[in-house]
Amino acid sequence: MKIHFVCRGNTYRSRLAEAYFNSLVIPDCFAVSSGIAALRNLNGPITTYAARIIAAHGFTQYGKIGWTQSTKEDLEAADIVVFMNADVYRDCCAIIGPVMQRFYVWSVEDVTPEEFDVNTIEGLADAAFAEIVNDTNALVEVLLGEK
């Protein structure tokens, strides 16, 4: 089963979800990620706080290098699509079109506002990662219950 996590730039939220999900090593399940506006991404291949979290938890081998732009074909190739929040879902519907397969819309907000200092952003990143772990674990419970 292929799970596709989608956020805006594919440098933070969806990358954390992809790496965490793949670290669980669930038989016959794997995750990929992309960003609905990754081609306009100015953050580079991954944000520093996402890279820090992935490395700190030992998930580096379960992620990927670089970002991926969401495409209709890639989303249609997934069994389940998970949008990091409602704004990303709306943008996807406007840019790519509606997702026809099973999907979830989470409520993980982005944490890149320039007015916050680095310590605030790091704290927000850690909190968002905790939310991603919680939501991913709930998704895994649903998937395992269906097997």
Confidence of residue 115 (pLDDT cuts 50, 70, 90): low
Distance of alpha carbon 94 from alpha carbon 122, whole angstroms: 31
Amino acid (1-letter code) at residue 113: P
Domain ranges of the chain: 2-139
Is pLDDT of 60 > 90? yes
Distance, CA of 82 to CA of 46 (rounded, Å): 19
Give the rounded percent of residues in the chain with a pLDDT score beyond 70.
93
- Could you tell me which of 79, 131, 123 has the C-alpha nearest to residue 106? 131
pLDDT at site 38: 86
Q: What is the pTM of this model?
A: 0.92
CATH architecture of structural domain 2-139: 3-Layer(aba) Sandwich (3.40)
Average pLDDT, integer, range 18-33: 96
